[in-house]
Amino acid sequence: MIVKEPVKISPLTSARHQLSKVADILGMDPGSRERLTYPDRVVETHSPVRLDNGQVRMFPGYRVQHNNALGPYKGGLRFHPDVDIDEVTALAMLMTWKCALVGLPYGGAKGGITVDPRELSVRELEALTRRFTNDMVSVFDPKKDIPAPDLNTGPREMAWIMDTWSVAHGYAAPGVVTGKPIAIGGSLGRAEATGRGVVANLLELLKFKGQPHKGARVAIQGFGNVGGTAAHLAHLAGLKVVAVSDMYGGYHNEDGLDIPAMLKYSQANGSLRGFPEADPMDNDALLTHDVDILIPAAMENSITEANADRVRAEFIIEAANAPLTPDGEAILERKGVTIIPDILANAGGVIVSYFEWVQGQSELFWTEDEVNLRLQELVERAFDNVANLVTSKGLSFRMGAYSIGVGRVTEALRVRGLYP
C-alpha cells in the first residue's frame, strides 16, 4: 500500500531550488540570479460564466510571463482544479529554460484556469475559454505572448482563443496561439510532437547508454496527448509497453499491452476505464512497476520521497513537467537512476509550436515529414549538447540541460543590459 505524500509540495520552491543549483554550477552573477528568480509579470483574472442552470460562477485564471530575454513569451494554458499561481509561475520558469535549451527565439510563460473541465458542458467550457481570452486580450499577442495547449486543452480551445482574440482586434490573427486545428493554420505533426520528442529522447538515451531498445520494458503514467502518443510511438519502435494509466487507474500486461487497441478504446470512451483486455493495476503501483523505463506523463509531483526508493526503473523520461520533487529526485540519483529532465524530454511540443508560428508568419506550410525531420534534428542536437556536458563535466542530465538553458538566458540578459 502506497502512502500518499501528505504535504503539497510547492512547484515554485522546487523550480527555484533547481535554478539555485544551476546558478552555483554556472557561477552566475547575483543580479541575473535575482532577476531570473522572479517572473516579469503576473496577471490574475476572475472570469464570470453563466452556467447551464442559470447561475453565474467566477473562475480564477492566470498568466505568468517569466522572462522574454530571448523573444516573445511562450507557454501552454492548462485547465485543472489544482491550477494556482505557484504552479503556473514554476511552469513559466521551466518554459524559459526549455525554449533556450532547444534554441528557440522565445521566452517563457504559462497560464491556466482553476476548473475541472469535466464538470462543465461544452457550451460552458466555450463561454469560459472565450471570456478568459477577453480578460487576457491585452496580454496575449502574436508578438508578445503566445499560448498553446497543455493539460485538458487542445486544438478546440486554441481555436476558441484565436477566434475571440481575432474578433476583438478586427482581423484574423492565427499567430496568437499555436496548437490550432489544421483548418486555421495549425501545423501538421503538432498534435503528436510532444510524445514524438519524448520517444526521440528515450531512443537517444538508450543509444548513449549502449543499450538496445527492442523489447525494453516501459511504463507510462498518463494516457492523454503526451502519454498516449509516447505509448504509441514506443510501441511502434519495438519497445514493450507493459503498463499505462490515466486518472482513473492503470492496466498492465507483462507480454506487452495492445497500445493501438487502448488508444482506440480511450478515444471512444474518454478514458481507459473498463478496458477489458489487460489486468487493472493501482495507479501508484505503476510508478514502482518492474520496468526498464518509466515515463511520467501526467502531473507534477508524481514521484516524491514517499515512493522514490521503490521505483525500479533504470531510466526516467520526464514527459510531464516537474513530475519529480527535489527530495524524490535525490533518492533516485543515489540509486543511480538516469533522468531525462522535462525541459529536454517534452520540448518537442514547443519546438513544433515554433514551427507552426514560423509557417504562419511566412504563410508557407510544410509537409508532415518536413516537420518531423526538423523536430528530430532539434531534439538530437539538444540531446547531444546535454550529453556532452554529462560526459565532459560529470553533470546529471538535468543540470546539463539547465546549464545550457539558464546559461543562454543569462547571456541574453547580459548583452541586452538593464533598462534604464
**Catalytic residue ranges:** 110
Binding window for ligand NAD (CB under 6 A); candidates: 7-15, 48-56, 112-120, 296-304? 296-304
CB of 228 to ligand NAD, least distance (A): 7
| Closest approach of ligand NAD to the CB of residue 291, in Å | 16
Q: How far apart are CB 415 and ligand NAD at their closest, in Å?
A: 29
Considering only 75, 149, 174, 175, the residue that binds ligand NAD (CB under 6 A) is 149
> What is the total count of residues that contact ligand NAD (CB under 6 A)?
24
Residue 194 in the binding site for ligand NAD (CB under 6 A): yes
Q: Is there a contact between 116 and 42 (Cβ–Cβ < 8 Å)?
A: no
Q: Residue from 298, 311, 332, 409 that binds ligand NAD (CB under 6 A)?
A: 298
The neighbouring-strand residues paired with 294 are 219, 316
Which of the ranges 16-24, 144-152, 212-220, 303-311 carries the binding residues for ligand NAD, by CB under 6 A? 144-152
List, as own/partner pairs, every contact residues 5-8 make where C-beta atoms lie below 8 angstroms and the sequence separation is at least 24, other chains included: 5/301, 5/304, 5/305, 5/306, 5/325
When asked if residue 247 is in the footprint of ligand NAD (CB under 6 A), the reply is: yes
Q: Are strands 73-80 and 240-246 parallel, antiparallel or unpaired?
A: unpaired
> From the list 225, 288, 301, 403, which residue makes contact with ligand NAD (rule: CB under 6 A)?
225
Least Å from the CB of residue 350 to ligand NAD: 7
Q: How far is the CB of 30 from ligand NAD (least distance, A)?
A: 31
One-letter amino acid of 2: I
The yes or no reply on residue 341 touching ligand NAD (CB under 6 A) is: no
Window 58-97: residues binding ligand NAD (CB under 6 A): none
Is 48 strand, coil or helix? Answer: strand
Closest approach, Cβ 160 to ligand NAD, in A, equals 17
Is residue 379 within 8 Å of residue 373, measured between CB atoms? Answer: no
- Distance, CA of 52 to CA of 58 (rounded, Å): 14
Q: What angle do CA 69, 74, 80 make, to 5 degrees?
A: 135
Query: Which 195-224 positions form the footprint of ligand NAD (CB under 6 A)?
Result: 221-224
Q: Which is nearer to ligand NAD, 224 or 400 (CB)?
A: 224
Which of 32, 187, 304, 321 touches ligand NAD by CB under 6 A? 321
Question: Could you count the other beta carbons within 10 Å of the beta carbon of residue 144?
Answer: 15
All residues at 6 or more sequence positions from 119 whose CB lies less than 8 Å from its CB, including other chains: none
103 touches ligand NAD by CB under 6 A? no
| Cell numbers standing for residue 56 | 453565474
Q: What is the DSSP letter of 141?
A: B
Q: Which is nearer to ligand NAD, 231 or 413 (CB)?
A: 231
> Does 246 help bind ligand NAD (rule: CB under 6 A)?
yes
- Report helix, strand or coil for 20: helix
The CA distance from 197 to 161, in Å, is 26
Calculate the CA dihedral of residues 203, 205, 206, 209 and round it to 10 degrees.
160
Work out the angle between the directed axes of helices 11-26 and 30-37 (0-180°, nearest 10).
Answer: 160
The binding site for ligand NAD (CB under 6 A) comprises: 149-152, 194, 221-227, 245-247, 283, 297-299, 319-321, 346, 349
